[in-house]
Amino acid sequence: MKGDRPTPSPGPGQVLVKLCASGVNPSDVKARAGVRGGSSALPFPFVIPHSDGAGFVAECGPGCSRISRGDRVWISNGQWRRAEGTAAQYIAIDENLVFILPDNISFSVGAALGIPALTACHATTGFEDIAGRTVLISGGAGTVGRLAVQFAKMAGAFVVASGHGPDDRARILNAGADAFVDYASLTFVADVLAETNGLLIDHAVEVEFGANAEHLADLVAERGTIVTYGSARVMRPDIPFYKLLFKGIRLEFVLVYLLTAKERAHAANRINRLLVEGRLDVPIHQVFPLKDCALAHELVESGKRSGAVVLDLESTI
């Protein structure tokens, strides 16, 4: 549904952002369908979708100190526990959810950062120093996984990433992974250990926890860490509790919307530093005009993409 809404006004600690681009994520598609977080209904009678976006600050509310009028910015948590997201010309949002967009980065790339880049960065670097450690990244050809490969590699880890087929292998290795393993292999555990010369995994980033819990219990080293942010294929996992317990493995569940201000800022600063240095590749699969928002959602639903899907909010074509 399209329509006009009043331009919001920034409250205390908020900024009003003139949006130039809006990112479309799987969680946005699930929220629209009423299936995010196990809910079966939309939480508000009228919703402007999407959590991620980019633009420039049009106005600052009382008490703002981090962000100034005219700043180019990228946004996270736009439509988290609130009705007004980023698929609009303007958004009023807490300045702690807004970050400076480097001058060398397009608004389209900025709109692709929030959920994928913050998840990938925090999952890889937010818990421990992984320099010189062995890291396993599940789904390394996906949007989050491919970014996680880059963050882990640039943090000094030896990176093994899983995917399926020659296209995934190329994407994963091009992102900088040291090794690719096929998640469909019947000898997956042995394949991973062959790539690490027998070393167990110190840190695992997992997109399909339920499907891979048994493998992780076998592969992760004593006192290692498993960070998971998804389990779509097996939504009620059987956990090999005693295998994990007797290795003292730490299991962390990451929901990007619930990062603390400190965690979010730490990840955003790392993301921006790598962007400024030209070291972070954020692939864009397709950019749609706002009027084709439904088509953008259908593309994300299809799973047939190799990068972010973005709305150009300035295009009328």
* Nearest alpha-carbon partner for 48 in 259, 284, 290, 258: 290
Amino acid of residue 273: R
54-96: pLDDT as tens digits: 999 999 999 999 999 999 999 999 999 999 999 999 999 999 9
DSSP state letter for 176 = T
pTM above 0.75, yes or no: yes
> Alpha carbon of 177 to those of 23, 201, 271: distances in Å?
26, 15, 18
Domains of the chain are 14-113+283-312 (3.90.180.10), 117-257 (3.90.180.10)
Query: Which residues in the chain land under pLDDT 50?
Result: none
pLDDT at 228: 98
Q: What's the pLDDT score for residue 30?
A: 84
pLDDT of residue 35: 57
Measured CA to CA, the distance from residue 14 to residue 276 in angstroms comes to: 26
pLDDT value at residue 4: 82
3-state percent helix, strand, coil for the chain, nearest multiple of 5: 35, 25, 40
Give the bridge partners for 288, in sequence order. 311
CA 21 to chain centre: 17
Note the pLDDT of residue 31. 82
Q: Which residue has the tokens 């292999």?
A: 185
* Intra-chain end-to-end CA distance of the chain, in Å: 18
* Closest of 221, 266, 227, 261 to residue 244, by C-alpha: 221
Q: Reduced to 3 states, what is the DSSP secondary structure of residue 75?
A: strand
d(C-alpha 197, C-alpha 222), whole Å: 17
Per-residue DSSP letter, 36: G
